[in-house]
Amino acid sequence: MKKKTWLSWSSGKDSAWSLYLLRQQPDIEVTGLVTTVNERHQRVAMHAVRLSLLQAQAEAAGLPLHVVPIPSPCSNEAYEAAMSRLIDKAKENKVTHMAFGDLFLEDIRAYRERQLSGTGITPLFPLWRIPTDALAREMVTSGLKAVITCIDPRHLAPSFAGRTFDAAFLDDLPKEIDPCGERGEFHSFAIEGPMFRHPISVTVGEVVTRDGFVFADLLPAQEEVVR
């Protein structure tokens, strides 16, 4: 029996690469993507990606999307209640494993393990402890393309918002910034790669500062870019 797995899907490069690696493991069957979405703005939490683009990603990946609506702002109690409902749904769908794209933050991994403890669902961490400098370069050379959607200006210049995650981007990152942005320095939206059946076409719209972060608004390519 294969491990029936749902993947926690942020819409970014690490989630996309996790899907790619999981699909190379013969004992794992990824059967769905799970994403928390701000129910007020209908955007991916933190990444601020429009729901329509998230749905386009899931279609390109050939997987059903399970949206977890969360309020804005979202208390820890509200988040955990939403996750509890998700776990119940996963169990109804005979899911045995939940995969996450975490890289090296021990407290985040421990939190996820506590959330799933006693549920009958086992956490998987396909990217865990892969050196992030090598990982970022491998993503780029293997054809993964992503657009930077969110910047924490306390760590990275706002001019990085809207850029493509590529070799030039990695070369331009300050040395103190993790190449995969694991500490929240930046977030991305994956648009192309070996995990997708076809690219997701987007254009970069308005770049705005909100709640202390810098966001690049991505639009479906056919829509007019807002300036």
pLDDT tens for residues 1-37? 899 999 999 999 999 999 999 999 999 999 999 999 9
**How much is the pLDDT for 224?**
44
Question: Of 14-18, 36-40, 105-109, 216-220, which gets the smallest average pLDDT?
Answer: 36-40
**How much is the pLDDT for 136?**
98
**What is the pTM (predicted TM-score) of this model?**
0.94
What residue segments make up the domains of the chain, in order of their start?
Answer: 3-124, 141-220
Name the residue type at position 111. Answer: Y
**Average pLDDT rounded to a whole number, residues 76-104:** 95
Phi-psi region of 183 (alpha: psi -120 to 50; beta: other; left: phi over 0): alpha
N residues, the chain: 227
**How much is the pLDDT for 71?**
86
**Average pLDDT rounded to a whole number, residues 127-155:** 98
**Average pLDDT rounded to a whole number, residues 198-223:** 92
Is residue 205 pLDDT above 70, yes or no? yes
**Is residue 114 within 8 Å of 83, Cβ to Cβ?**
no
**How much is the pLDDT for 43?**
92
DSSP state of 105: -
Is residue 175 pLDDT above 90, yes or no? yes
Question: What average pLDDT is seen over the chain?
Answer: 94
- Predicted confidence band at 165 (pLDDT cuts at 50, 70, 90)? very high
Architecture of domain 3-124: 3-Layer(aba) Sandwich (3.40)
Number of H helices, E strands in the chain: 6, 10
- Predicted confidence band at 68 (pLDDT cuts at 50, 70, 90)? very high
